[in-house]
Amino acid sequence: MNTGKVTLVSAGPGDLDLLTFKAAKAIAAADVLLIDDLVDDEITTLKAAHARVIKVGKRGGCKSTPQAFIQRLMRRYALQGRHVVRIKGGDALLFGRAGEEIADLRSAGIDVDIVNGISSGFAAAAGLGVSLTHRDHCQGVIFVTAHLRDGSEPDWATLAATGMTLAIYMGASRIDGISEALRKTLPVDTPAAVVQWAGTSREKRVCATLGEIAACAASENIASPAVILIGAAIGEGVAQLAARSESMCRLSA
């Protein structure tokens, strides 16, 4: 039997309307679907009748499917000649361990295709109605995870000093420490926002200053999965939320 292949499909932030045509075609052609926890369950309506669906949820702070087990499943089915589609939330190439999976599959002689998608950082900005970059405020955006593999944190001072918009993933449970660390470099009134379930029907958002954002997120019960946005460009979102009377926290007011 010929070796099959694996396609890493980016499912986007959760709204099926944001799924690309290429992703939908890959799902329809799959023999086996390995689906992340943050992916909309209705995505399985796009599969072929014969396709097998396996949930391989991975959530911070929750019971998760071990990464090594997921990689073994992909190798096993692909080596049986199956087309395996690994469906990841957001974009597969951003904080989805795609690098580990690609290396593992290629070492086994398995072909890998990649389908890009919309990351939750972009969905969060869209929900706020802001651009992550702005000629008047910053020249770029940095996508960063709130913790490294060994449990340590990034160099927040160096990141803050760039003047870029910071899009911080997997940081909801650490927002107190993150905001405190950033305040050592950034002004306390730097605009900030937290968006939970970005790009889905469950989306919740709160805007405040860097000095207030942690308390505001707690008062609004914002938790994982959430994206934290920090930077001057996010100030545009604060003004727009105020105009629309949506969730803005002003603890000092």
* Residues classed as catalytic: 36, 58, 170
At 149 the three-state DSSP class reads: coil
Q: What is the per-residue burial (b if ≥16 Cβ within 10 Å, else e) of 137-153?
A: bbeebbbbebbeeeeee
DSSP category for residue 12 = B
| Beta bridge pairs of residue 144 | 168
User: Tokens 């950033």 label which residue?
Assistant: 182
Nearest to 131 by CA among 227, 208, 236, 19: 236
- The helix or strand, by DSSP H or E, that contains position 252, with its residue range, turns out to be none
Backbone Cα Rg of the chain: 19
The values of phi and psi at residue 217, to 5°, are: -60, -40
Nearest to 231 by CA among 172, 160, 153: 160
Distances (CA, A) of 77 to 4, 95, 137, 155: 8, 24, 49, 40
| Residue 49 tokens, joined | 């009748």
